[in-house]
Amino acid sequence: MTDSFEPKILAFLCNWCSYAGADLAGVSRFQYPPTIRVVRTMCSGRVDPVFIVEGLRSGFDAVAVFGCHIGDCHYLDGNLFTEQRMAMIRELFELSGIGAERAQLRWVSAAEGQQFAQFVKELSDLTRTLGPFDAKRQALVLSALEGALAAPRLRWLLGMERPLTEGKNVYGEALDLGEYRQVKATAVREEYRKALILECLREGPLSVRQIAARSGLGVYEISLLLSEVERAGLVDLHHYEGTTPQFVRLGL
């Protein structure tokens, strides 16, 4: 990477801790690179995962969320939801090929101005090594990520880790945390790949092999996932070219 590349990082800062920490860094004149553009939010828990994807689509090279330390959230447990959401978005970024490193989470208190400045330096150095993010080249992947994050299955799982693993059902049973995370990882993988198939079909009818060529997924896996999205009423058989079925996306 050339020395002339200067990364652009979108940073979501919670009002009560990390934004105050950034303010302290400025007042104290702690030096850090001018690489971040700040969005002030009342709580890091208000940062929807879709915002992270939109940050990359809008021309940023990485997106960071800064929140209160665990146990210090002004809204009690908003940062716990942040931690779960960022883990999922990093899983999706890694799965998509974008790379988990382009989505970062840091905890900064109102008294940690020096820490905030250090984090910005670290994130700037990291993003510089990753290089520029080409949103146009990754347009298909970004749309698939947004589609996956809008899926009811993932939205439900995002909010249910603690109720499912800490609470008990009517039989007095709680779901094992490892089992929950395995279920979530499977859902993340399946919903992303289904969304990727749907995005490939956005421009018109395609065969399974044409979808495979565009998405990079295997023919067998696409055939299985097509059956699921077809049952959900999202895809239908459009016509045959010879003996090859062509599928079309519904509801566009």
pLDDT at residue number 130: 97
- Asked if residue 94 lies in contact with residue 103, where contact means CB atoms within 8 angstroms, the answer is no
pLDDT at residue number 72: 94
Please write down the long-range contacts of 132-141, taking CB distance under 8 Å and 24 or more positions apart: 132/5, 132/7, 132/61, 133/56, 133/60, 133/61, 133/62, 133/98, 133/102, 135/56, 135/57, 135/58, 135/59, 138/56, 138/98, 140/196, 140/199, 140/200, 140/214, 140/215, 141/96, 141/97, 141/98, 141/196
Radius of gyration of the chain (CA): 21
CA distance 62 to 56: 7
CA-based angle 140:142:145, to the nearest 5? 110
Helix axis angle, 177-200 relative to 208-215, nearest 10°? 110
pLDDT tens digit at each of 252 positions of the chain: 456 899 999 999 999 999 999 999 999 999 999 999 999 999 999 999 999 999 999 999 999 999 999 999 999 999 999 999 999 999 999 999 999 999 999 999 999 999 999 999 999 999 999 999 999 999 999 999 999 999 999 999 988 888 888 888 778 888 898 999 999 999 999 999 999 999 999 989 999 999 999 999 999 999 999 999 999 999 999 999 999 999 999 987
Position of tokens 């209160």?
68
Maximum pairwise Cα distance, the chain: 72
Position of tokens 């382009």?
102
- How does strand 62-67 pair with strand 103-107? parallel
The closest alpha carbon to 41, from 33, 32, 51, belongs to 51
pLDDT at residue number 3: 60
pLDDT at residue number 155: 93
CA distance 206 to 43: 43
Query: What pTM did the predictor assign?
Result: 0.92
The closest alpha carbon to 54, from 170, 180, 143, belongs to 143
CA distance 193 to 91: 13
- Asked if residue 87 lies in contact with residue 177, where contact means CB atoms within 8 angstroms, the answer is no
Q: What domains lie within the chain, and their CATH numbers? A: 9-130 (3.40.50.960), 151-249 (1.10.10.10)
Q: CB within 8 A of 222, min separation 6: which ones?
A: 197, 208, 211, 212, 215
Position of tokens 């999202």?
234
- How does strand 244-249 pair with strand 235-241? antiparallel
CA distance 200 to 213: 10
